[in-house]
Amino acid sequence: MSLTLARSMAEFSTTAWSVVLQAGQRDSPDAAPALAQLCEAYWQPLYGFLRRAGHAPAEAEDLTQLFITTRVATGLVLRDLDPTTGLFRSWLLKCLQNLVINECRRDRAQKRGGGAVELSLDLEAAERRYLDAGSSLGAEQLYDQQWARTVLERAYDKLQTTYRAAGKSALFERLKSALPGQDDTLPSYDELSLSLGKRVSTVRKAVQRLRDDYAAAIRAEIRATVSRDAEVDEELRYLLSLFDKRLLHPP
């Protein structure tokens, strides 16, 4: 893992359960940003779960908004949570299911709003993602797959930001197709050597470093919301099982 990425990741998550713990410290200045991160990371998987569970788009949107603003953004879902609970994503889904069971539709408009963080939910994008997922998965499986997809996207975005901050935007743009899951085909090392003005051996090392940094960023995303270090590897294996492994493992 590169030093630059290590410093970047330290700002976001350095210990297991870190973001969840920060979000639960209501008097801390870190609480609101941590809550925002949880909202951004999980709202699309929650919406996908509701759609697959049989709720129409408008109803799923309403329930997602309600849950995010009154349960997640306010920190209410963290009230009875402690590190022995286990996987945060499982706890969050259970809380959503309880809300759906207990909440009357006529109460939703009255209870919406009042969240501790500002979050814009792009429900059109969430609906497109839901439709793109197909119909072969059950509601909980779809929730997990969309959670995994979000983990990968957030890790990719943080990796890109880190390279930009280090003045390596051009390098990242040339090499990003080497990352698993990217649609582009990586040019040959000879071509990259010529375009970057670097030796082939140097380019090979840069590609491997980028892949290693991406793997570290994925692990950091997972580590932020599990209660034990051992669960990082368990979650990573599960994440890989949700996708065609060719998309996630570098050649």
pLDDT tens profile 67-119: 888 888 787 888 777 666 667 888 889 899 988 887 655 554 455 544 445 55
Spatial contact of 235 and 87, defined as CB atoms under 8 Å apart: yes
Residues ≥6 apart with Cβ < 8 Å to 125: 44
**pLDDT given for residue 185 in this prediction:** 74
Average pLDDT over residues 237-251: 61
Residues ≥6 apart with Cβ < 8 Å to 193: 199, 200, 202, 203
**pLDDT given for residue 14 in this prediction:** 35
pLDDT confidence band for 180 (50 / 70 / 90): confident
Q: 192: buried, middle or exposed (CB in 10 Å: 19+, 13-18, 0-12)? A: buried
6-36 confidence digits (pLDDT tens)? 333 333 333 456 677 667 666 677 777 777 8
**pLDDT given for residue 105 in this prediction:** 52
Residue 234 pLDDT > 90: no
**pLDDT given for residue 139 in this prediction:** 92
Residues ≥6 apart with Cβ < 8 Å to 152: 181, 218, 239, 248
**Domain positions in the chain:** 3-247
Residue 142 pLDDT > 50: yes
Dihedral sign, Cα of residue 37, residue 41, residue 43, residue 44: positive
**pLDDT given for residue 106 in this prediction:** 52
Q: Quote the tokens at residue 251.
A: 């050649």
**pLDDT given for residue 9 in this prediction:** 34
